[in-house]
C-alpha cells in the first residue's frame, strides 16, 4: 500500500497528545529557543496565554517562565516546554503560533480559527 507524504506549510511541530490547545511551527520554536538562550538564567519554558484587553476584548500573551503553575497544562514541542493555563486553553483551541519575517516587520503571528473578529490593528480579538 502506497502512502503519500504531505508537508503542511508552514511546518507545524505537534506536541503529544493530540489534544493540545496550541501548536507552534518550527520557525516559532526556533525563535523562542534563540531568545531563551540570551536570558540569564535560562527559563524553563514559554507561557502562552490569553488576557482581557484591547479593542476587541482579548489579547494573546507570551512570556518566559521558570516553572509551571498549579492550573497549567504543560506541552512539549520538539523539546520546548510550553505552559498554558486552563482558562487560556479554551480560547487557544486550534491556534497556531508562527514566527514570520518580512521586509516590513518580524514577529510572532497567532492564527486562531476560533476567532470571530479582530480589531483594526490586529492586536486583539473576540470569540
Fold of 12-126: Hypothetical Protein Aq_1857; Chain: A; (2.60.300)
Q: What average pLDDT does the structure give for the chain?
A: 80
Domain range list for the chain: 12-126
pTM (predicted TM-score):
0.75
Give residue-wise pLDDT tens across range 14-28.
444 456 789 999 999
pLDDT tens profile 43-70: 999 999 988 876 767 888 999 999 888 8
Grid cell at residue 21: 490547545
- Asked if residues 106 and 27 have their Cβ atoms less than 8 Å apart, the reply is no
Are 63 and 69 contacting, i.e. CB atoms less than 8 angstroms apart?
no
CA 115 to chain centroid: 15
User: What's the pLDDT at 125?
Assistant: 54
Residue 52 has a pLDDT of 82
What is the per-residue pLDDT for 8? 46
- Mean pLDDT over 71-87 rounds to 93
**Which pLDDT score is estimated for 24?**
94
Amino acid at each position: 500500500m502506497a502512502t503519500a507524504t504531505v508537508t503542511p506549510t508552514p511546518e507545524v511541530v505537534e506536541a503529544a497528545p493530540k489534544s493540545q490547545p496550541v501548536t507552534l511551527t518550527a520557525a516559532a520554536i526556533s525563535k523562542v529557543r534563540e531568545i531563551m538562550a540570551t536570558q540569564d538564567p535560562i527559563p524553563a519554558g514559554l507561557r502562552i496565554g490569553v488576557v482581557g484587553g484591547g479593542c476587541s476584548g482579548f489579547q494573546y500573551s507570551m512570556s518566559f517562565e521558570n516553572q509551571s503553575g498549579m492550573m497549567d497544562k504543560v506541552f512539549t514541542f520538539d523539546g520546548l516546554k510550553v505552559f498554558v493555563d486552563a482558562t487560556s486553553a479554551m480560547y487557544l483551541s486550534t491556534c497556531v503560533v508562527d514566527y514570520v519575517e518580512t521586509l516590513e516587520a518580524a514577529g510572532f503571528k497567532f492564527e486562531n480559527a476560533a476567532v470571530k473578529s479582530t480589531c483594526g490593528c490586529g492586536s486583539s480579538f473576540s470569540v
